Amino acid sequence: MRGFYVLLAAVGLGGGAWLLYAARHKPEQPTVPVSPAPVAQAGSFRGYTLGSDSAPVHITEYSDFECPFCAAFATVQMPEVRAQLIVPGKLQWRFRDFPLTNHKYSRTAALAAQCGGEQGKFWEMHDQLFFNHQWAQTGKDPTRLFRDFAKTIGLDADRYDACMDSQRYAGRLEESKQEGEAIGVDHTPSFYVDGRAFTPRPTSDAFKALVDSLITHRKR
């Protein structure tokens, strides 16, 4: 009987220690160059980017913040894409909004990300929206939660509120969506590699194979 309680204590303590470790050691996103905060006019804006303008390959993603597949891509594949392709300078990643009409809070989320971008923290807000994607399943108005995200990443709350209230980036979202529709985007996430549609299953391995192949081919 004593052996049983020792085993129970070992499992309990080991598991508790593991949970504590997991809670305290959140993996950090690698540092990559990000595009500067753009001006508010829709016409001149072509989306936020990760990676150098001089990268040999450019990928554009059309995404919807409420879409579960976009969230899965952003949380599972994108960290690998960042580490393996963007950080080494092989790839520049461009994010374009494609808010789907059947998603109730996509536009609110996209505006929140743009308002984060206004203060130089688009990608931080992007990560908050995708890594805490429970909001998309509850059906509840996430406006207050997004404000909490904004505060979590250190945005000036007053500026964020003013930005959201004015909806000053609504035109930018609309233009981004029209741009996507013009080139044939009909689902999210959709990807274009140097302007060509990428149709295989979007995994970091698939992108890595393609980008490496393009770079090798161009060197010849």
Contacting residue, 18, 178, 187, 200, with another protein by CB under 8 A: 18
Contacts of 208 (CB under 8 A, 6+ apart): 80, 81, 84, 85
Q: What are phi and psi of 61, to 5 degrees?
A: -110, 130
Q: Could you say whether residue 27 binds another protein (CB under 8 A)?
A: yes
Q: Could you say whether residue 72 binds another protein (CB under 8 A)?
A: yes
Find the distance separating the first CA and the last CA of the chain, reported in whole Å: 71
Q: What are phi and psi of 9, to 5 degrees?
A: -65, -40
Cis peptide before 27 (omega within 30 of 0): no
For the chain, list the strands marked E by DSSP.
48-50, 57-63, 91-97, 190-193, 196-198
Q: Could you say whether residue 11 binds another protein (CB under 8 A)?
A: yes
Q: Could you say whether residue 71 binds another protein (CB under 8 A)?
A: yes
Q: Could you say whether residue 102 binds another protein (CB under 8 A)?
A: no
Q: Is the dihedral of CA 25, 27, 31, 37 positive or negative?
A: negative
Stretch that binds another protein, among 40-48, 82-90, 133-141, 170-178 (CB under 8 A): 133-141
| Helix runs in 25-156, H state only | 68-72, 78-81, 106-118, 122-131, 135-138, 143-152
Stretch that binds another protein, among 11-19, 43-51, 159-167, 206-214 (CB under 8 A): 11-19
What character string, x for contact with another protein (CB under 8 A) and - otherwise, covers 158-197? Answer: ----------------------------------------
Stretch that binds another protein, among 37-45, 74-82, 91-99, 155-163 (CB under 8 A): 74-82
Contacting residue, 2, 23, 195, 199, with another protein by CB under 8 A: 23
Q: Could you say whether residue 134 binds another protein (CB under 8 A)?
A: yes
Q: Is 71 exposed, middle or buried (0-12, 13-18, 19+ CB in 10 A)?
A: buried
Q: Could you say whether residue 4 binds another protein (CB under 8 A)?
A: yes
Pairing verdict, β 190-193 and 57-63: antiparallel
Contacting residue, 30, 68, 120, 200, with another protein by CB under 8 A: 68
Q: Identify whether the C-beta of residue 193 lies closer than 8 Å to the C-beta of residue 90.
A: no
- Closest to another protein by CB, 52 vs 132, is 132
- Closest to another protein by CB, 47 vs 202, is 202
Q: Could you say whether residue 132 binds another protein (CB under 8 A)?
A: yes
Which residues of this protein are in contact with another protein, per CB under 8 A? 4, 7-8, 11-12, 15-16, 18-19, 22-23, 26-27, 68-69, 71-72, 75-77, 79, 131-134, 136-138, 203
